[in-house]
Copies of this chain bind each other. A is one copy, B any other.
Amino acid sequence: MKLGMAKADYPDIRGLEIFSDMGEEHFEGLMRGSYVQNFPPHVDLITEGDPSDFLHIVLDGTVELFAAWNGRETSMAAVRPVSTFILAASIKDAPYLMSARTLEKSRIALLPSQDVRAVFDLDPNFARSIVAELAQCYRSVVKNAKSLKLRTSLERLANYLLRQQKRAGGGATFELWTEKRRMASLLGMTPENLSRAFKSLQAYGVQVNGTTVTVHDQNDLEAFAKPSRLIDDYSS
């Protein structure tokens, strides 16, 4: 039974960039129909093709977006706090293009799409936040498509590692956040191939031990990967 969001969660949500500068009464209105839920790992949240009843926001944990066709499946993205997903479907009131599942124990806010659209019309600040988030999502997919079309799988992996390294603080050693099979799918390759790709990157000073990656020669790896602001900088 859905009883709306617990008041205790309000400050948490209110602090998110998307909600921080909207009017108080609009915020309250939006929260009344919304709720926060905890999910165990490996739970399907939405299925592609279904109508988009809720805008989802990952507060904690990790959610994987994936898609299937003709018996094949591919990982499209990993969503990490604090981000929305299926925003575009919510806004257009169109069916989901991707499925979603939790990868780890996750805390997720669910806002009725209808309410989101209504408040969008009422609150210009909220509208601006929504459109900024959507533009961000758009640009991420474009970057991903560029990576797929312009790079070999080895180049994609090299740049992926550089991005992960940066996200982990920039040190020479960092941890991979997920199983390699999932990484492989995300990068558009098979697990077998990913394993071999890691080996190939040894030539550029990359060492992998379980989930621990060490970049021994930053310059060498970067010279090979040739990271580009227009593909690999996910902050702009």
Known: A69-B231, A139-B94. A121 touches B124 (CB 8 A): yes
A48 CA to B134 CA, complexed, in Å: 20
Contact with B along A88-105 (1 / 0, CB 8 A): 110110110110000000
Partner among B70, B138, B150 whose Cβ is within 8 Å of the Cβ of A226? B70
In the assembled complex, A236 has its CB within 8 A of some CB on chain B = yes
A74 CA to B151 CA, complexed, in Å: 11
- A138 close to B134 (CB less than 8 A): yes
Highest count of chain B CB atoms <10 Å: which of A91, A97, A128: A97
- A148 close to B150 (CB less than 8 A): no
Residues of A70-94 contacting chain B, CB below 8 A: 70, 72-74, 76, 87-89, 91-92, 94
**From A67, which residue of chain B is reached at the shortest CB distance?**
B146
User: Hey, which chain B residues are within 8 Å of A134, CB to CB?
Assistant: 88, 131, 134-135, 138
In the assembled complex, A168 has its CB within 8 A of some CB on chain B = no
Name the interface size band of chain A: 35 or more
Known: A76-B145, A97-B143, A150-B72. A88 touches B135 (CB 8 A): yes
Majority DSSP secondary structure for residues of A touching B? helix
Contact with B along A128-152 (1 / 0, CB 8 A): 1011101111110111111011110
Contact with B along A223-235 (1 / 0, CB 8 A): 0001011110000
In the assembled complex, A49 has its CB within 8 A of some CB on chain B = yes
Contact sample, A vs B, 22 pairs, CB 8 Å cutoff: A48-B230, A49-B229, A67-B150, A69-B150, A69-B151, A69-B226, A69-B231, A74-B146, A76-B146, A87-B135, A88-B134, A92-B236, A94-B236, A95-B236, A98-B142, A120-B127, A120-B131, A121-B128, A127-B131, A134-B138, A141-B141, A148-B188
In the assembled complex, A68 has its CB within 8 A of some CB on chain B = yes
Interfacial residues, chain A to chain B (CB-CB below 8 A):
48-49, 67-70, 72-74, 76, 87-89, 91-92, 94-95, 97-98, 120-121, 124, 127-128, 130-132, 134-139, 141-146, 148-151, 188, 226, 228-231, 236
Q: How far is the CB of A32 from chain B (nearest CB, A)?
A: 22
A63 CA to B163 CA, complexed, in Å: 32
